[in-house]
A and B are shown apart, each in its own frame.
Chain A
Amino acid sequence: MVVADKYEMVCGLEVHVELQTKTKIFCGCTTEFGGEQNTHVCPVCLGMPGALPVLNREVVNYAIKAGLALDCEIAEFSKFDRKNYFYPDLSKNYQTSQFDLPICIKGGLEIEVEGDKKWIGITRAHMEEDAGKLVHSGETITTSNESSVDYNRAGVPLLEIVSEPDMRSIPEVLAYLEKLVQILEYTEVSDCRLEQGSVRFDVNVSLRPIGATTLGTRTETKNLNSFSSVRRCMEYEVARQARVLEAGEKVVQETRTWDEGQGITLSLRSKEEAHDYRYFPEPDLVPLVIDREWVEKIRKTLPELPAARRARLQTLGLSAYDAGVITQAKDMADFFDAALSCGGDAKTLANWVMGDFTRLLNTNQCSVADSPISAKQLAELLTLIDKGTLSGKIAKSVLEQMYSTSKDPSRIVKEKGLAQISDEGALLGIIDGVIAANPQSVEDYRAGKDRAIGFLVGQIMKATKGQANPGLVNQLLKEKLSS
């Protein structure tokens, strides 16, 4: 992205993902969201003297799984370190994290922006504990005389995924984030509920003159929790840095915070001194050795990832766009595959899934997982169309009834007498009636006005409440009119 005709934006991201284990990373307290303040706590996550942390095996399993999905190497040897800082969101004055030997290294993922593919490197991903929540008595930290602390979230396992500074525009950043969250959702290591803070973003951004090879001074804006906040924050920060540089001043390397209400970033603290975290190895935890066998065992649990799934759907005849829409969320892709396994044409199924089915869910604000229509039922509906039992138009109304009743389509068709009339004898009688009642249209058609047949078909459909087989009606009507 070119800013003010002379600067290029450089961005790298740190993404914190809460892993969906049942218990915290170093103790048996539940990770359940919510709960009355300070009720999901114990001596370990409160940092009481003498309490000893023990690593949760599932956290390691999830970290390996996420690492493999992000094309990372899994370190054979890794360890935990203490990151020291003074802030009451953790009770120990340090955060247990991984410093020089993280569990995942050297990965990446491919993004696509306006048709251009680009590889975004992932430097590392490491395990750490989440911090507690602060409630300030005033509007902001600095205007508050005191703060209240809830440590329920302290110790919830996080995977911090650090990208290379490979992104050069806001669309690239958003594409990376969407792709990353999608992959994490597929691996089911996290519920990825952004609105609950399950995924949080730190944005590192700097500007440099176009053509420069060294990086400019960056700022880090912490704790963004939605894609739209990331976009707005970057727009603001890029413009702010450009103004600073244009004024002949220097960008200060610092941590900033995003003020959602005002739509601006604010300086939080200077990075030079405050960010000397004096990491040292965590003496209360022993190192982690992960052998090939462990990694391969986890690799076997990996689902088909979005890119592979998109490719497979395209080989079934779906367009790249359709395959992208269906694989966007794993729930939807699973629904599609489940319906497809009942037989039928992939393209037709895709049209129904993306069209009427999605529309019904959206109208009712229902998720795929909670859909009252099962994949098997949708497949059955399409079979009924394919066999000529239902016209496409009636099928749409049957789908709506399936949604409101959860009944099988065949049952709805039977109960409501909606089966398409494909019986020639029955149709011929109706066609004769319509021809007799509309002599003008018949004459027009015979005079060469092809459009007149449309009116007659319409009348027949009306007479049969839309249940006549349209193909058969057309055929029989033409035969009648030309005889």
Chain B
Amino acid sequence: MLDYSEVCTTFSWEAVRASLQGLPNNSGLNIAHEAIERHANGPLRDRVAIRWLGKKDTSLELTYGELQAGSNRFANLLKQLGVNKGERVFWLAGRIPILYSVFFGILKTGAVFCPLFSAFGPEPIAQRLERGNAKILVTTERQYRKKIEPLLSRLPELESILLVDREEKLNEWVLSLPQLMADSSSEFTIPPTDPEDKAILHFTSGTTGMPKGAVHVHNAVLTHWITGRYVLDLHPEDVFWCTADPGWVTGTSYGIITPLLHGVTSIVDEAEFEIQRWYQILEQHKVTVWYTAPTAIRMLMRASADVREKYDLSALRLIHSVGEPLNPEAIFWGQRVLGLPIHDNWWQTETGGIMVANYAALEIRPGSMGKPLPGIEAAIANRLPDGTLQLEGDEVEGELVLRRGWPSMFRAYLHEQERYNTCFVGDWYLTGDLARRDTDGYFWFIGRADDIIKTAGHMVGPFEVESSLMEHAAVAEAGVIGKPEPTIGELVKAFVVLKPGFSASDELKQELIGFGRIRLGSAVAPKEIEFTDNLPKTRSGKIMRRLLKARELGLPIGDTSTLEGSAS
């Protein structure tokens, strides 16, 4: 994209659809066809689609042709296991090569892929498997033994578990994936797929209830395709590296689908962040376009500048970041140390793809989210007492809203129509993020409109954490907030009221931190515990987390007229 304004005026989703191939004989639109089949049946067949880098310095390359065969095998074995269209197949493992065959195999059959983050503990896993009616789970033996086996009685709908790292089955329904793959045919024809057929289910945290399953459909591929072009600026010769884990939406939309749609080579690193390893990957694999997150950038910034100087990053031409607002210092650091500015963009699980971005073709406004994607109408709005929306002009704070109907918009919260409906007012989707728009049309993030915590780029619902802590014998009540922290944005902090007979101590604090880590896993568990005698509550008994946060930050506590115990 060379001229943002011009593209915005001439843009049409119909034209985007026309640039995709569609299934043969006009039988619909399937993400797997656009990402894999289209290339595997053409000149890119032998091109490396995925270059996987293992933790122990091993590596593996998968071509588009190999991904076609692998995903066909997985599709066939799902059919043998009796998985029907729309049924959910869950993934609980890290970034390993079989993921790509599993992902596209599921989409080929018309079943739905649902990823879980490997650092979730048994409780978040059980919640999501139950709510998502998991029929099949693909996982590792270690995850199975540590977290799944103890949960089995809660999961009556789960029919088979496929272990990626076992050569033989454990029993009649805990099976060996490599064995099943070997016995499965590599020929498969994608059945007719309606663009509105469900494809992916992503759980995201709620502020008041348990996690919500955002449903995405095959038509989302239009957004994936166009953001790959306009935002990521992918060209066929690019080497692209998205550092996100498939447990989160960035890891599927941009870690799996988008680079393959554009026929590029996608780097996948199995290991966690490590400074020299990351610089080495950028250098050695000549990464040209890099999509990462503020937490990682801030960790790179912490290292002394001479570390970066050891590496040749001359292949790199574009850097993007997502997850939480990137502070201007980080953008300037990119320019100074990496030789390139960092382009921040904004979107969320519900939007399915990037919605607001700083583009290569536009001046970066450091600290801003950027401008809406062509084809996306974004606005700032405030709710009026009668429930309608008032759209605001420039420089007014309000909620960021998007005009409904873009292809990757979530189509439902699974089994929760009411909760879905409350996200919309008229034609507008309410994002829950507060922002403002400047006079040049750039959007600026202000904060969340609700209590959801954003830690290391991931959303954590306070309710889920509070519920889990309250299962500890010593805990009477808990209130959970995001405490600002410079590297990870916010850390999960719990205020705990103890039951009579228990007294506050460092030992108990440690015990609760350990309890949280066991139940919830490290990605969700509180990192800080503070004992308190009472929690501020509304008269209806709801914990006022806003007040807890103000107290934590030493801010004025604002309007407390609805507070329990306040004068009426």
Are A and B physically bound partners?
no
A residues apposed to B, CB below 8 Å: none
